[in-house]
Amino acid sequence: MKVTKTAIDGAYLIDLDVYGDKRGFFLESYQQKRYAEHRLDAKFVQDNRSFSLKGVLRGLHYQIKHPIGHLIYVTHGSVFDVGVDLRVNSPSFGKHIAFTLTAEKNQQLLLPAGVAHGYCTLAQENEILYKCTEYYYPDDEAGVIWNDPDIGIEWPISHLVINERDAAFPTLKSIVPSRLPQI
């Protein structure tokens, strides 16, 4: 397993070890002891699965009182995955990281609590699994608009399918600090 730091403190790109032959392959998508050896000691409480067709954008989501860290893994297809640091005292506050995760690359993205998460799908069919460090509380969820010019994410698809709620999120500079993740 190879772990690479990103431009956001506490966020890592992880290359998984894959063992394959003519029959197929095997990999461990998570093993607590191995992650702890790399000082990645997040405690996960929930696993989620998402399926989306091509061109779907989800995010940028976060929770206010119950911030969630994520370990994201694409099992089918390809996604452009983004994290935006919303931790008020972080040196990278308002900055983003973005990676194209594919089922073939066998990479994961670890985002710490307080980093908003979003992605757009690139393949015809896409399945994402992600582990969460906190439970999902619908009344605690908030978001930042996906095309906030101050964040400057260069999404790789111009015609996106996005739901009304995500399309109506505010810009980061219009969010009062009490409505950001309480870390």
On the CB side of 24, how many CA atoms lie within 13 Å of its CA?
2
Is omega for the bond preceding 60 within 30 degrees of 0, making it cis?
yes
C-alpha distances in Å from residue 13, one per residue of 40, 68, 109, 178, 180: 11, 17, 5, 30, 24
Q: Check 12, 35, 62, 130 and give the catalytic one.
A: 130
Q: Check 61, 70, 96, 117 and give the catalytic one.
A: 61
CA distance 180 to 65: 9
- Cβ-proximal residues to 1 (8 Å cutoff; 6+ apart), any chain: 14, 15, 16, 17, 34, 38
Active site residue 12: no
Active site residue 130: yes
Instruction: Show which residues are catalytic.
Output: 61, 130
